[in-house]
Structure 1
Amino acid sequence: MLPSRYVKHSPVSKESVSVQVLVLGDIGRSPRMQYHALSVARHGGRVDLIGYHESTPHPDILNNPRIKIHPLAPPPAVLRSSSIPFIISGPLKVLWQIWTLIRVLGYQTEPARWIMVQNPPSIPTLAIALLISVLRNTHLIIDWHNYGWTILAGTKGRDHPFVEISKAYECALAQAAPTANITVTHAMRRQLEKPPYSVKAPILVLHDRPASLFQPLESLSDRRDFLERLPETKEFASNIVSGHTKLIVSSTSWTPDEDFSLLLDALVTYAENRSAHPILAIITGRGPQKATYEEKVQNLQKAGKLPNVRILTAWLTMEDYAKLLSCADLGICLHMSSSGVDLPMKVVDMFGSGLPVAAYSGYESFSELVKEGVNGCGFERADELAAILTRLLGDEGTNELQTLRKGAKKESDLRWDEEWDRVLGRVLGVMD
């Protein structure tokens, strides 16, 4: 629990509680930070939501008068291209981010009672947030989604000097910066309490929970109407509703920490059984490796290795994505935790839509979300995923799939608002 000085805010009215919610990323693709903003506003607080405005945020964000979006200016295109070596573009990009963060946090927004910052990225976000919190007498909360240095290590290697610098920086700021911390798992909390982090400030565990937007779609006619409206599923709608074609959905950022080849290899193995149900796989999201894998899919199709499988990519609104999940037979999560102690938000959204999952399970915190045989299945290899697809999507897997669907719906009974109120409402002073 937090010390009482961080919990009791009786002299401060709820209307005067102000929070700067900071994410050094695309606001529209940062659901957890959007949910923080909505929760504060729901209780009468004022929110400055700061980040890159690249994709459309949650509709309730746009319609809430208590939430104001402050877009960060993206780095110049030349710093985002691969034509400049990272050793040059990396530091220049950080300098640009320092300037934009100070300008928005220190000059374009009013002083707030709290700054809540998403980590990662940690450079330069944590340092600038600490600086502003000191200068403006603001309480600082770090919401730990993962570690920046482990993500960097995934692309540069753990022995890269930038990785060592990033780790030392992140550990130092973890000890010095926050009034409080939030983690997405109990495993991450335990890790932060030990060296090399040795965090002394209070650490609260706030599990991701689905927002109200993600709901099971019970009506068969509503399911058919949506599938017939969505371009990616229109020609398959009747067969999906009848159960002849199975619909699987995976959301990915197309980055190295999500090995899409696992799903491709599993689908190739599945397709070897010509009597298996046809599969329509919808892959949503954007990222650097998307074009590479789209080419691999085309090559597999030309080679005749996916005879009863169609793989389509899509970029959907939040509303359409939520409905697509509720219409699917199985969700696929390829998230490989770089730290071993984070959890993928996409699985939470799937559960919120009543969708069971097959998820990569090779990390410590996996069991905090997915319960084997209850709401989903875990795998670490492509052949294991292929076996899950064959078993669950076959005629004999109907009962097991229904059992997992019931477990997914039960997991979603506790929603974000309830979890947030329980963990953070009194801390921020928006609840009595």
Structure 2
Amino acid sequence: MRRRPSKKAHVPRRNRARHAVVMVLGDVGRSPRMQYHALSLARMSPSQRVTLLGYAGENCVPDVARQSNIELLTFTPHLQRLPRKLFLLLAPVKVLLQLLQLLWLLLVSAGSIDLVLLQNPPTIPTFVVVWLCCRLKGAKFVIDWHNLGYSLLALSLSNGHPLVKIAKWIERVFGRKADANLCVTRVMQTWLRDTWQIEATVLHDKPPLFFKPTPLDTQHELFSRVGDQLEHCNDLVTWGENSVNLEETLLTRKTRGLNGKKGKSIIQPRENRPAMIISSTSWTADEDFGILLTALELLDKRTSSLSVSEFPNLLVVVTGKGPQKEMYLEKIRQLAFKRIRIATMWLEASDYPLVLGSADLGVCLHTSSSGLDLPMKVLDMFGCGLPVCAIGFKCLDELVKHDKNGLVFDSSKQLSTQLYDLLRGYPTDTSQLNRLRASLKTVEHWPENWNRVAAPVFKKQLRLR
């Protein structure tokens, strides 16, 4: 167990500052919405304490480390990845170990607690444990519904499996016991109310303020740093001769004063700059990466005989971790694209928004196991002024407005056509991209949305004025 220490003085509940625990049974660093919740709760009052609780793993966004009244409490789970053949045998053992870990963390390690905000999914064993601990400590229990836990479990088992039925029962019964609920879409709000009689407040995902278009000088510095991850893509462009006056990346070029003398440096986009597409994926069953690969195969065949002035070379950046990553990396290695290069990049949390803000187009492959949640990655792209091609599913229209801020597709062939139409003539002609970008200039960001929608919920539960 790892924690960033904080000084705690034991004082009566009525006299002490409020303490909220933001909890996710997963890698805290890969749970951006819960990090943003923690930041917003911490900023409600400098005297309010917030503990961000979850698995150790990726680094959190830099703002979390800088916020003095946020304590990071992380732990390493037992039996994190179960062999598929032993899943039914070991799953109960894993749940029991998680239950004991969580009881210790909430009842002992976290100290006095006034409120626990819990991410769902996962549901088991968190719903039961958090509800019990909140009742024992006199704390409020708030659920943030990102999806339905039982629907994700059904992806690996089946809807009729006994474990799925048990998970569904726990989710329904203990979901009703929460003191307040938040959810990510209006469709989910309606489903929770009509199906399980759970009232929830809709808090749509919004990008934080650090998701914004990346200036050209920052792009140059960024791709100079991460260029080693793109070396296999260098044949997308023609490189200049080595010179003390010239510094190039895949996307930018920096010229210095004559003969290397000090003078004003000029940073420009490359004349033969490839168009950059980015897709952030979880490499799971509900994000079929094969759709994008097939679309790129179709696009490469269609454009193989075109000049760079007619259609640009493509740099496709893919970020994320997940169980199917190695399988798809092997498929990528077998492809022989002429005009396209795919780079799977590992990025620091602080670099991810900079890469998004440098791209020309985003692709979202997220579909929902429940049909009730929305992909947060699209909001991040919108915050960076980045139009998106997204695969269609129920409730996506709450986020992506077809032909206004992005395009919706339902097949590889349709995605291939959209990529061709949007990028044809790039970088000289970007009229289609600019048309979609125009609607993204007034995107609402996380702080104002949270203060308007979620703050009243938490003030009521914490009895704050």
What's the TM-score, normalizing by structure 1?
Answer: 0.90
Q: Verify: 1:68 aligned to 2:71, yes or no.
A: yes
Distance 1:83 1:230 in 2: 36
SS at match of 1:126: helix
Alignment of 1:118-137 (within 5 A): 118-137=119-138
Match of 1:266 among 276, 295, 298: 295
Query: Contact 1:376/1:408 (CA < 8 Å) preserved in 2?
Result: no
Partner amino acid for 1:403? R
Deviation at 1:90, TM superposition (A): 1.3
Q: Is contact 1:373-1:404 (8 Å) kept?
A: yes
Separation in 2, partners of 1:398, 1:60: 34
Q: Which residue of 2 aligns with 1:277?
A: 312
Letter in 2 for 1:351: F
Q: Confirm or deny: 8 A CA contact 2:362 2:386 kept in the other structure.
A: yes
Contact 2:230/2:343 (<8 A) preserved? no
Match of 1:327 among 351, 358, 367: 358
Give CA-to-partner distance per residue, 1:148-169, whole Å, 9 cap, x none.
Answer: 1111112222222222221122
Residues 40-78 of structure 1: CA deviation (Å, up to 9, x unaligned): 1112221011100111111111122211111123114xx
**1:403 aligns with one of 435, 455, 459:** 435
What is the one-letter code of the residue matched to 1:179? D
Give the counterpart of 2:450 among 420, 423, 429.
420
- Number of equivalenced pairs: 407
Describe the superposition over 1:83-131 as per-residue Cα deviations: whole angstroms up to 9, x where unpaired. 6511012111111110111000111112221110000000011111100
Secondary structure, aligned partner of 1:25? strand
The answer to whether the 8 A contact 1:358-1:379 is kept is yes
Please say if residues 20 and 115 of structure 2, whose CA atoms lie closer than 8 Å, have aligned partners that are also in contact: yes
2:386 aligns with: 355
Give unmatched runs, 5+ long, in structure 1: 1-10
Higher relative contact order (CA 8 A, sep 6+): 1
Quick check: 1:35 aligned with 2:36? yes
Is 2:378 the partner of 1:343? no
d(CA) in 2 for partners of 1:83 and 1:144? 27
What does residue 292 of structure 1 align with?
327
Q: Which residue of 2 aligns with 1:3?
A: none
Shift of the alpha carbon at 1:222? 3.0
The residue identity in structure 1 corresponding to 2:433 is L
Counterpart CA distance in 1 for 2:299 and 2:42 is 47
Q: Report the secondary structure of 1:85's partner residue.
A: helix
Identity of aligned residues (%): 39
* Superposition deviation, residue 216 in structure 1: 1.2
1:158-173 equivalence runs, <5 A: 158-173=159-174
The offset of 1:136, in angstroms, is 0.7
CA–CA distance in structure 1, aligned partners of residues 101 and 439 of structure 2: 45
Alpha carbons 2:385, 2:441 under 8 Å: kept: yes
2:180 is aligned to: 180
Instruction: Provide the C-alpha distance between the structure 1 equivalents of 2:174 and 2:270, rounded to a whole number of angstroms.
Output: 52
TM-score in terms of structure 2 length: 0.84
**Distance change in 2, residues 1:243/1:162 (3 Å):** farther
Please tell me the residue identity of whatever aligns with 1:406: A
Cα distance in 1, alignment partners of residues 178 and 29 from structure 2: 25
User: Contact (CA 8 Å) 1:224, 1:241: kept in 2 or not?
Assistant: no
Cα distance in 2 for partners of 1:241, 1:249 equals 19
For 1:391 and 1:361, locate their aligned partners in 2 and report how far apart those are by CA, in whole Å: 19
1:376-395 alpha-carbon deviations (Å, 9 max, x no partner): 11111111110111111111
The question of whether the paired residues in 2 share the 8 Å contact of 1:356 and 1:407 is answered with: no
